[in-house]
C-alpha cells in the first residue's frame, strides 16, 4: 500500500474522521464562546483573564487550537492535491501552509500558557 507523507492521517477515511471530530470540537468551542459573550455583560480584562486562567478553559482552548490546526491542514492538503497539479507548486504551497500552521500553534500555546 502506498502512503502519502504529506497526509495527516493514514488514509482518506482516517482524514475524514479527523475532520469530523475536529469540527465538533470547534463547534463546541464556538458555541461556548458565543454564549459567554451573548448572555453576559461585556467582559472586562479581568473577566477575560479570569476565564482563561482556569485549567479547564486552557485545556479546552488548547484542544480547539490543535483542532483548528488539524482541520485546516487536512482541508488545505485536500484542496492542494486536488487543484494544484504541478508538484513543485503543490510542495511550496503545502510547505508554507505547514509552516504557518506550526507558527500559529506555537504562538497560540505561548499566549495561552504564558510560556
- The annotation places the binding site at 71, 83
Q: Are 8 and 73 in contact (CB under 8 A)?
A: yes
Judge contact between 7 and 15, C-beta under 8 A: yes
**Do 12 and 27 form a contact (C-beta atoms < 8 A)?**
no
Do 77 and 94 form a contact (C-beta atoms < 8 A)? yes
Closest CA to 76 of 95, 57, 59, 61: 95
- Going by the annotation, the residues of the binding site for heme are 71
Q: Which residues are annotated as a binding site for a ubiquinone?
A: 83
Amino acid at each position: 500500500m502506498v502512503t502519502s507523507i504529506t497526509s495527516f492521517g493514514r488514509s482518506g477515511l482516517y482524514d475524514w474522521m479527523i475532520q469530523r471530530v475536529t469540527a465538533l470540537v470547534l463547534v463546541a468551542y464556538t458555541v461556548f464562546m458565543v454564549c459567554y459573550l451573548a448572555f453576559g455583560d461585556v467582559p472586562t480584562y479581568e473577566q477575560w483573564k479570569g476565564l482563561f486562567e482556569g485549567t479547564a478553559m486552557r485545556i479546552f482552548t488548547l484542544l480547539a487550537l490543535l483542532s483548528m490546526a488539524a482541520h485546516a491542514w487536512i482541508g488545505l492538503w485536500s484542496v492542494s492535491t486536488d487543484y494544484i497539479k504541478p508538484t513543485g507548486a503543490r510542495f511550496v504551497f503545502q510547505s508554507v501552509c505547514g509552516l504557518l500552521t506550526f507558527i500559529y500553534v506555537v504562538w497560540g500555546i505561548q499566549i495561552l500558557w504564558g510560556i
